[in-house]
Amino acid sequence: MKITIKAGSLMQGCLGKGLAGLLLSTFTLAAPALVQAKDAPIPPGAVLAVMQNVEVPAANEEVELEDGVTATFWYGKELDFDGKHYYAAFVWHTRDSAARQGEDFAAPDVQVRLADATFELTHPGQTPAYSILSIERKIGFFGGREKPEEVDTKRQALEHRTADGRLLLAVPTATFEDGIVTKGYTLFVFNPNKKPEDDGWIWSHVGQVRTGEDNSAACDDGAVMPCIGSDGELSFVAGQESLPQVQVKVSGTTFQGPEKVRPLVAADNLTYVYDSKTQQYTSH
Give residue-wise pLDDT tens across range 201-249.
899 999 999 999 999 999 999 899 999 999 999 999 987 788 999 999 9
Average pLDDT over residues 116-127: 94
Query: What does the pLDDT read at residue 26?
Result: 41
Please give the Cα distance from 177 to 42 (Å, whole number): 31
Of 248, 249, 243, 250, nearest in space to 273 by CA: 243
What is the model's pLDDT at position 186?
98
Share of residues in the chain with pLDDT > 90 (%): 69
| Burial class of residue 126, CB neighbours in 10 A (0-12, 13-18, 19+) | exposed
The pLDDT tens digits for 124-163 are 999 889 999 999 999 999 999 999 999 999 999 999 999 9
* Alpha-carbon distances, residue 7 vs 10, 13, 65, 66, 91 (angstroms): 7, 17, 9, 7, 22
Strand ranges inside the chain, DSSP E: 2-4, 62-64, 70-81, 84-93, 112-121, 130-142, 158-161, 167-177, 180-190, 203-214, 230-237, 245-255, 261-263, 270-275, 280-283
Between residues 198 and 189, the one the model is more confident about: 189
Q: How confident is the model at residue 11 (pLDDT cuts 50, 70, 90)?
A: very low
Please check the confidence at residue 72 and state whether its pLDDT lies above 90: yes
Q: How far apart are CA 279 and CA 277, in angstroms?
A: 6
Q: Please determine, for residue 184, whether its predicted confidence score (pLDDT) is greater than 90.
A: yes
Q: List Cβ neighbours of 166 (8 Å cut-off, separation of 6 or more).
A: 189, 190, 191, 242, 243
Q: Cα–Cα distance between 63 and 67 in angstroms, integer?
A: 12
Quick one: pLDDT at residue 199? 67
* pLDDT value, residue 88: 97
Q: What pLDDT does 29 receive?
A: 31
d(CA 56, CA 53): 9
Cα-based distances in Å from 129 to 23, 120, 156, 157, 178: 12, 8, 25, 24, 44
Count the helices and strands in the chain (H runs, E runs).
4, 15
* For the chain, percent of residues with pLDDT exceeding 70: 85
| pLDDT band (50, 70, 90) for residue 61 | very high
For 10-14, which contacts have Cβ atoms below 8 Å and span 24 or more sequence positions?
10/53, 10/54, 11/53, 11/54, 11/55, 12/53
The contacts of residue 284 (CB under 8 Å, 6+ apart) are 271, 272, 273
Contact 84, 22 (CB under 8 A): no
Question: Could you tell me the residue ranges of all domains in the chain?
Answer: 1-148, 150-284
Q: Which residues share a beta bridge with 167? A: 161, 190
Q: Is the pLDDT of residue 31 over 80?
A: no
Q: Is the pLDDT of residue 3 over 80?
A: no
pLDDT on residue 15: 29
Task: Compute the mean pLDDT over every residue in the chain, rounded to the nearest whole number.
Answer: 85
Residue 24's pLDDT band (boundaries 50, 70, 90)?
low
Straight-line distance from the first to the last Cα atom of the chain, in angstroms, rounded to the nearest whole number = 41
Helix (H) or strand (E) holding 37: none
HSE-CB of 108 using CA atoms within 13 angstroms:
2
Q: What is the pLDDT of residues 37-48, one digit of tens each?
A: 445 799 999 999
